[in-house]
Chains A and B, each alone.
Chain A
Amino acid sequence: MKAIVVGGGPAGLRAAMTLAQHGLEPVLLDEAARPGGQGYRSPAPGIALDIAALMGSQKAKYERLHRQFEAARDTIDYRERTSVWAIDGHTLFIERNGHTNVLTFDSLIVASGATDRIVPLPGWTVPGVFSLGGAQIALKDQGALIGRRVAFLGSSPLLALAAKQYQATGATVAGVFDTAPFYAKIRAVPHLLHAPHTALRGLSYLAQLRMSGVPLHFGIEPVRIEGCDRVETLVLRDRTGREMHIDCDAVALGYGLKPETQLAELAGASFAFDKSFRMWLPVIDADGRAGPDLYLAGDGAAIGGADAAEASGTLAALALLADTGHTVAQSQIDRLRASIKRLRRFQRGLATAFAWPHRDAGALPGETIVCRCENVSAGDIRAALGVGLIPPELNRVKAITRCGMGRCQGRMCGPALQEIVAAQSGAPVATVGRLRTQAPIKPIALSAAEMPR
């Protein structure tokens, strides 16, 4: 029985550890140089960064995960800096240090994590604009800041967290600008009570920022980012319609997370449209089964945060073990199911509190670059729909405009593209389709090609 786990975040680490505890010798593949994934990333050695301080109240969980993985390392075939770029049947095509190779598996757990969901705005391609996740990676991996005076813009609980981390590391926070109105947060309270600690933690970040004099604004409307070689000003409109000009040299943009589902799709998962997140999510059962020999865990399956990732990684591994004739404890399964259910319900609450501003995305000014790889503007997309694309379908729009055809394969522009097409054509967003995934899911250099066998 050969089990492979893809992804070295909390979900993947827990999955691999669980398989190893049951006597399997799992292979764990991860793109990064060190285990931990995005949230529990550990800094490069030799960097003077007090990661424990940055992790704040998550410190204990962070340390426990890393410590336990370190202890289990001998029982896991852990391969860092290894990226899976294609899947064909039960074969993974991987790339490591500039060389390709293949690995076969009997069962596969994909714990591929999430990436930022972005609403573009005019000027977002000016140097100094980062996704919120990118801003956090720069900090946690390299101890680097994206700027000295950083504005945090979007609609996400992570805005306040990242702002606090930046402030603690010596940056000036030019402000946290949330596009969702504050009452949306109040309305979400019943959902948020499914994980009261997490909710309180979020509120305490906001309170701490406010106490230190950081401007916090809710219900704002992003207008544009100004600057030539570098971000100079972030222009916003407040709830009363007044323009605000924020002096800053970097902007971190984040509108919540979206699962990285490319591998799941190549491995054969099917997808369903989720109304509260307004995204297509892989279809899984309560334990993470997504198809024959295929299991999904963590944020790559459904956004749930680090605790849900750990729990769902363990649960997916238990499901795999049960399906392959191993004895597993039903009580443990029941407990994990219950806690994952609760945590994911909390995330639904967050999706209300920090709403994806789909109307803003759909109504982006024509000159806004939507696809930064291929330089396609919102106007280009609307023009393509204008020449009679009926019914409107994202892959057709992509073929005509090149939106989503570049390096990132639509991972950044896809959500905005979906909203523009739906808004422009008047079609319900669930009916305009979904950008299809093709290998390679990450760019791969010709020189890396080595023929298997």
Chain B
Amino acid sequence: MSTTVETIIIGGGLVGVWTAYFLAKRGRSVIVLEKESVGAQSSGVNFGNLRLQGRYPDQYPLSLRSQDLWERLPELIGDACEYDRTGHLYCAFNEAEAEKLAHYAKVSRANGIAIEDLDRSDLDKRFPYMGGKVIAATFSERDAVANPRLATPATSRAAQALGATIIENCRVTGIEARNRGFELRVDDGRTFSCTHLVNSAGAWAADIAARFGETVPAFAAGPPQFVTEPVPYFIGPSIQTIDGSVIARQIPRGNVILAGYPRTASDPVANRAPVPPHKTLAGMTALARVIPALAHASVIRVWSGIEAYLPDMIPIIGPSHAIPGLFHAFGFCGHGYQIGPGVGLCLSEWICDGHTPTPLAAFCIARFKSEVAVSEKFKAEFDSGGQSR
């Protein structure tokens, strides 16, 4: 006996559960199939940054729409998920980096984001704990953080309360396109059918796209991360160096969390994201350089995650070009947490209304029909063209 619904979503990460949430809110029937538990992958282990400054220029409409959702979490899902409008401090070590900062600031301002330029004396006044090697920074007040361990499960509960069905421990093993719809088989033998199918399967999504002939050069990786023991709370904003060696924040209970490039290859088949110890050492050195007062804090835990990256460092969001009714949303290249809720909203509009008011053409899967240029960001943030170890 096959279960029939309008929409099936493969993958209960942040993107999948927000899509389900908005569909259910509009009274549509929807099932999320998740091979583990909701938020078990990237969505649950990421750094938690909701950064606005320094994003890919064409992503701002989506990004701002998403930030608005993050700012309204209690009203939308009844849980703030430790959302905290900490602001984000973007830092430069030299003139060349400072120029890059100025460029990012210009793009951000053009999109209506308030950015403050800070020179060294401003830093000494407002963020005196910043190490002397930082010569300039920009501060974006609307940027925020939220706890990734909480966000996906909380959204999933809200979606269920609105009528969505979330099935965990249920891996989609077979998909077939059938008379204007899809038939899915899962690992316990059950079958499902639907007219709309959302592929939000994270690092596993490219395999699903490939079944319909849409091959993309995605690969799995994640930034090495670590957390220190709790130390007295003194770092307000989330702090990022423009070279990516440090992305750090302190949570009010005192722990300092760090993510740092270069990223590291992870293994979606073995379901493992090992952190090479030398990358932990590199992150420790880099963090002590940016915030010297942390030199005596101890690292207690490391981890990474399994996220899909693409060579142009922007995601795939939108309808399939191979088959009607199929929508892709994956390859978030390490910045899908901030836009996750917004992506869910846009996908729900596509499914219900046939279009979304948010411009997303840049993220179309068809761009991979021809060779895609490798972005500078990609070259800078991986050890050597994706051979990250």
> Real complex partners, A and B?
yes
Bound Cα distance from A176 to B227, whole angstroms: 40
What residues of chain A lie closer than 8 Å to B59, measured between beta carbons?
none
Residues in B with CB closer than 8 Å to A431 are none
Q: What residues of B have a CB within 8 angstroms of the CB of A85 in the complex?
A: 277
Q: Are the C-beta atoms of B288 and A438 separated by less than 8 Å?
A: no
CB distance B288 to A449 under 8 Å? yes
Query: A439 contacts which of B149, B275, B287 (Cβ < 8 Å)?
Result: B275
Of A390, A406, A438, which is in contact with the most chain B CB atoms at under 10 Å from its CB? Answer: A438
In contact, A451 and B301 (Cβ under 8 angstroms): no
A446–B284 touching, CB < 8 Å: yes
Whether A406 and B277, one on each chain, are in contact in the complex, defined by CB atoms closer than 8 angstroms, is no
- Chain B interface mostly: mixed
How many angstroms between the C-alpha atoms of A400 and B37 in the bound complex?
12
Closest to A86 in B: B277
A440 and B299 contacting across the interface, CB-CB below 8 Å? yes
Tell me if A443 and B278 are in contact (CB < 8 A): no
Q: Within the assembled complex, what's the spacing in Å between the Cα atoms of A396 and B152?
A: 13
Q: Which residue of A lies closest to B281 (CB)?
A: A449
User: Given A389-B37, A446-B295: A405 and B278 within 8 A (CB)?
Assistant: no
Interface digits, B132-158 against A, CB 8 Å rule (1 contact, 0 not)? Answer: 000000000000000001000100010
Task: Decide yes or no: A88 and B277 within 8 Å by CB, A407-B300, A438-B301, A445-B295 being known contacts.
Answer: yes
Tell me if B287 and A452 are in contact (CB < 8 A). Answer: no
Set A396, A405, A448: member contacting B37, Cβ < 8 A: A396
Complex contacts, A53 vs chain B, CB 8 Å: none
Q: Smallest distance from the beta carbon of A97 to chain B beta carbons, Å? A: 15
CA distance A100 to B277 in the complex (A): 11
Give chain B residues whose Cβ lies under 8 Å from the Cβ of A452.
278, 281
Residue A444, interface by CB 8 Å: yes
CA A451 to CA B276, docked complex, whole Å: 13
Q: How large is the interface on B (under 10, 10 to 19, 20 to 34, 35 or more residues)?
A: 20 to 34
CA distance A449 to B287 in the complex (A): 10
Q: Does A447 contact B (CB under 8 A)?
A: yes
User: Which A residues are CB-close (under 8 A) to B276?
Assistant: 88
Is A292 in contact with chain B by the CB < 8 A criterion? no
Residues on B with C-beta less than 8 A from A86 are: 277, 280
Q: For the complex, is A386 an interface residue (Cβ under 8 Å from B)?
A: no
Contact with B along A85-111 (1 / 0, CB 8 A): 111100101000000100000000000
CB of B80 closer than 8 Å to a CB of A: no
Residues of B within 8 A of A407 (CB): 229, 298, 300
Name the B residues within 8 Å of A448 (CB-CB): 284
A42 to B288, alpha carbons, bound, how many Å? 37
A449 touches B37 (CB 8 A): no
Contacting pair A440 B280 (CB below 8 A): yes
Residues of chain B contacted by A445 (CB below 8 angstroms): 295-299
Residue of B nearest to A399 (CB): B149
A387: B residues at CB distance < 8 A: 153, 157
Tell me if A391 counts as interface (CB < 8 A to partner B).
yes
Please tell me if the beta carbons of A409 and B300 are within 8 angstroms of each other in the complex.
Answer: yes
Are A438 and B302 also in contact (CB < 8 A) when A396-B37, A452-B278 are?
yes
Q: Is A50 an interface residue (CB 8 A)?
A: no
Taking the complex as formed, is A450 at the interface, i.e. its CB lies under 8 A from any CB of chain B? Answer: yes
Q: Chain A nearest CB: distance from B2 CB in Å? A: 23
With an 8 A cutoff between CB atoms, is B118 at the interface?
A: no
**Most chain B CB within a 10 A radius of its CB, from A390, A445, A450:** A445
Interface string of A386-429 (1 = CB under 8 A from B): 01011100001001100001110100000000000000000000
Query: A444 near B285 (CB under 8 angstroms)?
Result: no
Q: Which of chain B's residues 231-279 have a Cβ closer than 8 Å to chain A?
A: 275-278
Residues of chain B in range 335-382 having any CB-CB distance to chain A below 8 Å: none
Q: Which of A88, A400, A443, A451 has a CB less than 8 Å from the CB of B298?
A: A443
Residue B149 contacts which of A88, A391, A400 (CB distance < 8 angstroms)? A400
Using CB atoms, name the residue of chain B closest to A453.
B278
Closest to B256 in A: A446
Q: For B37, list chain A residues within 8 Å (CB).
A: 389, 396
A91 to B389, CA, bound (A): 14
Tell me which residues across on chain B come within 8 A of A449, comparing CB atoms.
Answer: 281-282, 284-285, 288
In this complex, what residue of B is CB-closest to A404? B301
By beta carbon, the residue of chain A nearest B44 is A399
Kindly identify which residue among A400, A440, A444, A451 contacts B278, using a CB–CB cutoff of 8 Å: A451
Residues of chain A with a CB closer than 8 A to B169's CB: 390-391
Instruction: Give chain B residues whose Cβ lies under 8 Å from the Cβ of A399.
Output: 44, 149
Q: Which residue of B lies closest to A375 (CB)?
A: B253
Whether A447 touches B296, Cβ cut-off 8 Å, given contacts A396-B37, A406-B229, A439-B275, is yes
In the complex, which of the residues A391, A396, A406, A450 contacts B281, with contact meaning CB atoms closer than 8 Å? A450
Contacts of B303 in A (CB 8 A): 438
Assess whether A446 is in contact with B287, with CB atoms less than 8 Å apart: yes
Chain A, residue nearest B282 (CB) = A451
Q: Is B40's CB within 8 Å of the partner chain A?
A: yes
- Tell whether B102 is near chain A: CB-to-CB under 8 Å: no
Q: How far is the CA of A294 from the CA of B283 in the complex (A)?
A: 29
Asked if residues B275 and A446 are in contact (CB atoms below 8 Å), the reply is no
State whether the Cβ of B168 lies closer than 8 Å to any Cβ in chain A.
yes
Q: How far is the CA of A93 from the CA of B276 in the complex (A)?
A: 10
Contact residues, A33-87 vs B (CB, 8 A): 85-87
Contact B284 A396 (CB under 8 A): no
Task: Tell me which residues from 205 to 262 in chain A have a Cβ below 8 Å from any Cβ of chain B.
Answer: none
Q: Which of A87, A100, A409, A446 has the most CB of B within 10 A?
A: A446
Most buried by B among A390, A409, A439: A439
Verify if B294 is at the interface (C-beta below 8 Å from A): yes
Q: Determine if A446 and B294 form an interchain contact, defined as CB atoms under 8 angstroms apart.
A: yes
Does the CB pair A451–B300 fall under 8 Å?
no
8 Å CB interface, B17-47 against A? 37, 40, 44
CA distance in complex: A439, B285 (Å): 17
Output the least CB separation between A339 and chain B (Å): 37
- Central interface residue in A85, A93, A390, A399, by most chain B CB within 10 Å: A399
Q: How far is the CA of A214 from the CA of B153 in the complex (A)?
A: 54
CB distance from B383 to the nearest CB of A (A): 14
Given contacts A86-B280, A449-B288, contact A443 B296 (CB under 8 A): no
Cβ–Cβ < 8 Å partners of B282 in chain A: 449, 451
Cα–Cα, bound, A406→B285 (Å): 22
Give Cα distance in the complex from A88 to B276, angstroms: 7
User: How far is B268's CA from A334's CA once the two chains are assembled, in angstroms?
Assistant: 44
Docked pose: A391 CA to B37 CA in angstroms: 9
Given A399-B149, A406-B229, A450-B285: 10 more A-B contacts, CB < 8 Å: A93-B277, A439-B275, A439-B277, A439-B302, A440-B280, A443-B298, A444-B284, A446-B285, A451-B282, A451-B285
16 A–B pairs (Cβ distance < 8 Å), ordered by A: A88-B277, A93-B277, A100-B281, A391-B169, A399-B149, A400-B149, A406-B300, A409-B300, A438-B275, A443-B229, A445-B296, A445-B299, A446-B299, A449-B282, A450-B281, A451-B281
- A-B pairs with the 9 shortest C-beta distances? A443-B298, A449-B284, A86-B277, A447-B295, A446-B288, A93-B277, A446-B284, A449-B281, A449-B285
Which B residues contact A (CB, under 8 angstroms)?
Answer: 37, 40, 44, 149, 153, 157, 168-169, 228-229, 275-278, 280-282, 284-285, 287-288, 294-303
